[in-house]
Structure formats: C-alpha cells, structure tokens
Amino acid sequence: MKYRYLAVALLLSTIAALALAQGYPIQITSVTTKDMTGVERNTFSRGEIVVVETELTCPSAYYYYAPGGYSYLEIITMWYGNSMLNIVLTRDTIMAGETKIFGGGMFIRYSDPLGTYNIEVYVWNGFPSEMGAAWAPLADIATTSITVTP
C-alpha cells in the first residue's frame, strides 16, 4: 500500500517536471530596428520614426499541444529609464511550424530625451486585466536598444 502512494507521487512529480521543462510555445527569434527606408539601424535622431520588426516562431513539436495554434498578444514597448515612451501591439494566431513577422513604427518626438532607449517585446495570451488568473506568457522577454541623438 505504501509503495502504491509513493508510485503515484512519483508519477505526478514526473508529469509536473515534464510540463515545466517544455518552456514557452513561441520564440521571439529576432528583434531589429530599422528606419523608414528599411535600413537596419540602431542610432536615430529626434523627429525620426523607429520601425521595430519582430519575428515569432512556433516550433512544429507544439502541434500536439495546440492543434489550433496559439492566439497571442504581442506588445512592443519603448523605454527611457522608467518612462514608457511608445507602445505598439497586435493580436494574432500562430500555428505550430509557422513564423510571423510584425513591425510597428515608433515616433521619437522632438521633446523626447537623448540617450539610450530600451525596446522590450512581450508575447502573452492577453492582458492581465483581461485574463486574470488565466494569464500566461507565451514567449520569453526579448530586448534590444537604440541610441537617440540630436
């Protein structure tokens, strides 16, 4: 009888470990910054638009976990210290084995500060205010940075 309980406990632990080891179903494979002509740059001036382009991939192995794909919310934010200067977002669905490219333009105002700006990309199943306890990240955080000059 004792060994039966031990076996059940071991089985449950193994299942939990396997679930956690899966990681996130979506990978942010690239985050690049470009100008309006499509040239990749990481230095911009005030008055310019920074185009942030992201590439998301869902490995084929996740087909068995979600045959209908993953519906996601992708958020791209631009930060100067603790100030969120810009945000673009999109909602889409990605199938296992698929790659999605999304880009958004962020205007650097003439009144914005000079220096290093951090760009952070998040992929969630929704906003915390929408999902509550059912909120889940679908990819790890990806970051890049640019420099803003006069």
Partner 1 sequence: MRTRWLILGLAAALAISIALAQPTITITPQVTYPGTSITIDITGTDAEYCAIEIRDPLNNLVYTKGIHLSGGTGTVSWNIPETAILGNYTVYVSCEITGNNTATFTLVPKPALVGGEVFKDLTPIISTLTVFAAAALIALSVALRRR
Identify which of 117, 33, 42, 121 has the alpha carbon closest to the alpha carbon of residue 80. Answer: 117
116 part of the interface to partner 1, by CB under 8 A: no
User: What is the nearest approach in angstroms of partner 1 to the Cβ of residue 23?
Assistant: 11
Identify which of 57, 42, 52, 72 has the alpha carbon closest to the alpha carbon of residue 120. Answer: 52
User: What is the nearest approach in angstroms of partner 1 to the Cβ of residue 59?
Assistant: 19
Euclidean distance between CA atoms 86 and 117, whole angstroms: 10
65 part of the interface to partner 1, by CB under 8 A: no
70 part of the interface to partner 1, by CB under 8 A: no
User: What is the nearest approach in angstroms of partner 1 to the Cβ of residue 29?
Assistant: 18
Catalog residues that contact partner 1 under the rule CB under 8 A: 1-2, 5, 75, 77, 81-84, 87, 120, 122, 124, 127-129, 131-133, 135-137, 140-141
